[in-house]
Amino acid sequence: MADRTIVTPHLELRRRTAERDRGLREKVMSLEEAASFVSDGDHVAVGGCTISRTPTALIWALVRAKKKNLVISRSITSSEGDVLLGSGVSKHVITSWFSQGIVWGVSKVMRHYTESRKARFDEWSHMAIGLRYRAGGMGIPYMPVRSMIGSDVNALRGDEVKEVTCPFTGERLMALPALNPDIALIHVQRADAYGNAQLDGLQFMDIDIAMAANRVILTTERIVSNDQIRRAPDQTRIPFFTVDAVVEVPYGSAPHECYGLYEPFFDHMDALAAQTKADPEKGIKKYLDDFYYEPSSWSDYLDRLGAEALIDASRRGRSIYND
Amino acid sequence: MADRTIVTPHLELRRRTAERDRGLREKVMSLEEAASFVSDGDHVAVGGCTISRTPTALIWALVRAKKKNLVISRSITSSEGDVLLGSGVSKHVITSWFSQGIVWGVSKVMRHYTESRKARFDEWSHMAIGLRYRAGGMGIPYMPVRSMIGSDVNALRGDEVKEVTCPFTGERLMALPALNPDIALIHVQRADAYGNAQLDGLQFMDIDIAMAANRVILTTERIVSNDQIRRAPDQTRIPFFTVDAVVEVPYGSAPHECYGLYEPFFDHMDALAAQTKADPEKGIKKYLDDFYYEPSSWSDYLDRLGAEALIDASRRGRSIYND
Amino acid sequence: MTERKNYTASELLAVMSGRILEDGQIVFAGVGIPLLAATLAQRVHAPGLTILFEGGVVGPFVVPGELPPSTNEQRCTRRANMVLPITDVLLLLQRGYVDVGFMGGAQIDRYGNLNSSFIGNPEKPAIRLPGTGGGNDISSLTQMIVAMKHEKRRFVDAVDFITSPGFIKGGTSRADSGLIAGGMYRVVTDLAILGFDAETKEMQVIALHPGVEAEEVKDNTGFDIAIPDHVARTEPPQENELAVLRDVDPDRLYTA
Amino acid sequence: MTERKNYTASELLAVMSGRILEDGQIVFAGVGIPLLAATLAQRVHAPGLTILFEGGVVGPFVVPGELPPSTNEQRCTRRANMVLPITDVLLLLQRGYVDVGFMGGAQIDRYGNLNSSFIGNPEKPAIRLPGTGGGNDISSLTQMIVAMKHEKRRFVDAVDFITSPGFIKGGTSRADSGLIAGGMYRVVTDLAILGFDAETKEMQVIALHPGVEAEEVKDNTGFDIAIPDHVARTEPPQENELAVLRDVDPDRLYTA
3-state SS string for chain B: CHHHHCCCCHHHHHHHHHHCCCCCCCCECCHHHHHCCCCCCCEEEECCECCECCCHHHHHHHHHCCCCCEEEEECCECHHHHHHHHCCCEEEEEECCECCCHHHCCCHHHHHHHHCCCCEEEECCHHHHHHHHHHHHHCCCEEEECCCCCCHHHHCCHHHCEEEECCCCCCEEEEEECCCCCEEEEEEEEEECCCCEECCCCCCCHHHHHHHCCCEEEEEEEEECHHHHHHCHHHEEECHHHCCEEEECCCCCCCCEECCCECCCHHHHHHHHHHHHHCHHHHHHHHHHHHHHCCCCHHHHHHHHCHHHHHHHHHHHHHHHCC
Residues 85-144, chain C, touching B (beta carbon < 8 A): 91, 94-97, 99
| C199 tagged catalytic | no
Q: How many domains does chain D have?
A: 1
Average pLDDT of chain A is 97
Confidence at C251, pLDDT banded by 50, 70, 90: confident
Residue B203 located in a structural domain: yes
User: Is the pLDDT score of B183 beyond 80?
Assistant: yes
Residue A230 located in a structural domain: yes
User: The domain that contains D86 carries what CATH number?
Assistant: 3.40.1080.10
- Identify the bridge partners of residue A163 per DSSP, sorted by sequence position: A174
Q: How many domains does chain B have?
A: 1
Confidence at D1, pLDDT banded by 50, 70, 90: very low
pLDDT digits (tens, 9 = 90+) for D119-159: 999 999 999 999 999 999 999 999 999 999 999 999 999 99
- Kindly list the residues from chain D whose CB atom is less than 8 angstroms away from the CB atom of residue A239: 58-59, 81-82, 84
Residue D2 located in a structural domain: no
- Kindly list the residues from chain B whose CB atom is less than 8 angstroms away from the CB atom of residue A173: 140-141
Q: What are residue B44's phi and psi, to 5 degrees? A: -110, 120
Residue A162 located in a structural domain: no
Residue D256 located in a structural domain: no
Residue C70 located in a structural domain: yes
Q: State what percent of residues in chain D have pLDDT above 90.
A: 91
Does A239 touch chain D if contact means CB atoms closer than 8 Å? yes
Residue B163 located in a structural domain: no
Residue D3 located in a structural domain: no
Residue D76 located in a structural domain: yes
Residue D254 located in a structural domain: no
Average pLDDT (A166-193) is: 98
- CB contact under 8 Å between A96 and C69, yes or no, is no
Nearest-angstrom CA–CA distance, B247 and B245: 7
Per-residue confidence (pLDDT) for residue C254, from 0 to 100: 81
Helices first, then strands: H and E counts in chain C: 7, 15
Nearest-angstrom CA–CA distance, A226 and A28: 13
Q: How far is CA D40 from CA A151, D18, D43, D49, D235, in A?
A: 57, 6, 5, 10, 16
Residue A121 located in a structural domain: yes
Nearest-angstrom CA–CA distance, B314 and C92: 37
User: Is the pLDDT score of B1 beyond 70?
Assistant: no
Chain C touches chain A, with at least 3 Cβ pairs below 8 Å, answer yes
| Helix A298-305 / helix A56-64 crossing angle, nearest 10 deg | 120
User: The domain that contains B235 carries what CATH number?
Assistant: 3.40.1080.10
| Helix A298-305 / helix A307-318 crossing angle, nearest 10 deg | 80
Q: In chain D, which residue's Cα lies nearest the Cα of A208? A: D88
Which of A10, A230, A242 to probe the D interface (max D CBs under 10 A)?
A230
Does D80 touch chain A if contact means CB atoms closer than 8 Å? yes
Chain C touches chain D, with at least 3 Cβ pairs below 8 Å, answer no
Confidence at C154, pLDDT banded by 50, 70, 90: very high
Q: Which range marks the domain in which residue D174 is found?
A: 9-248
Residue B168 located in a structural domain: no
Nearest-angstrom CA–CA distance, A317 and A263: 5
- CA–chain centroid gap for C222, Å, is 19
pLDDT digits (tens, 9 = 90+) for A83-103: 999 999 999 999 999 999 999
Per-residue confidence (pLDDT) for residue C4, from 0 to 100: 67
- CB contact under 8 Å between B203 and D179, yes or no, is no
Peptide bond into D228 cis (omega under 30): no
Confidence at C66, pLDDT banded by 50, 70, 90: confident
The predicted complex's ipTM stands at: 0.97
Residue C107 located in a structural domain: yes
Q: In chain B, which residue's Cα lies nearest the Cα of D128? A: B111
pTM given for the model: 0.98
pLDDT digits (tens, 9 = 90+) for B70-81: 999 999 999 999
pLDDT digits (tens, 9 = 90+) for D86-103: 999 999 999 999 999 999
Q: In chain B, which residue's Cα lies nearest the Cα of C85? A: B234
pLDDT digits (tens, 9 = 90+) for C8-61: 999 999 999 999 999 999 999 998 899 999 999 999 999 999 999 999 999 998
Q: Which range marks the domain in which residue A264 is found?
A: 10-141+178-321
